[in-house]
Amino acid sequence: MPHDTPIACRRPRLEDGAAIHRLVQRTGVLDVNSCYLYLLLCREFADTCVVAEQAGRLCGFVTGFEPPQRPGAIFLWQVGVDPEAQGQGLGKQLVRAFLDTPGGRRAEALETTISPSNAASQALFRAVARERGAQLAASEYFREEHFPAGHEAEELYRIAPLR
């Protein structure tokens, strides 16, 4: 993907679900979920999801939802950037666009989970907290034994207040 072509973020459409699924597979690092789930997110959770396009091709996405047990929070479930589009600040651009979705504008806190070895995601969320002038707190969420063998623990990162 040419680095000089602008990247535009928008709300996802149903047909973006399959493209997100393929992008997740291309990253080689994200947990690959069923295509059905990505289609469902693009249709039923479009108010809390964002896709990025460059030169007419999907090059990034954020999926998320508003957790029913924690009103006032928005949960960023997965962020993915095409390997060819990395190094352009797209991850931070996508998180900003995610916080500007209808669900994000209602939120007082941004939550996500990050594995202890994922330094890039930790740095991204520290930068978002600094940019927002908010506090970032990390706590236990899913331990390794909650997963099948081979998956790290996931810590809950919470950035608040967003406003």
Express each pLDDT in 78-123 by its tens digit. Answer: 999 999 998 889 999 999 999 999 999 999 999 999 999 999 999 9
Pairing state of beta strands 109-114 and 73-81?
parallel
> Residue 2's pLDDT is what?
55
In the three-class reduction of DSSP (H, G, I as helix; E, B as strand; rest coil), residue 24 is classed as helix
> Residue 1's pLDDT is what?
54
How many whole angstroms separate alpha carbon 109 and alpha carbon 31?
24
Contact 43, 80 (CB under 8 A): no
- Residue 46 sits at φ, ψ, to 5 deg, of -60, -25
Q: Which pair of tokens denotes residue 119?
A: 């330094």
> Residue 108's pLDDT is what?
97
Which residues of the chain, if any, have pLDDT below 50?
none
How many whole angstroms separate alpha carbon 113 and alpha carbon 16?
24
Give the chain's domains with CATH numbers.
7-160 (3.40.630.30)
> pTM, whole model, 2 decimals?
0.93
> Residue 113's pLDDT is what?
97
> Residue 3's pLDDT is what?
61
Cβ neighbours around 18 below 10 Å, total: 14
Q: Which pair of tokens denotes residue 107?
A: 């939120």
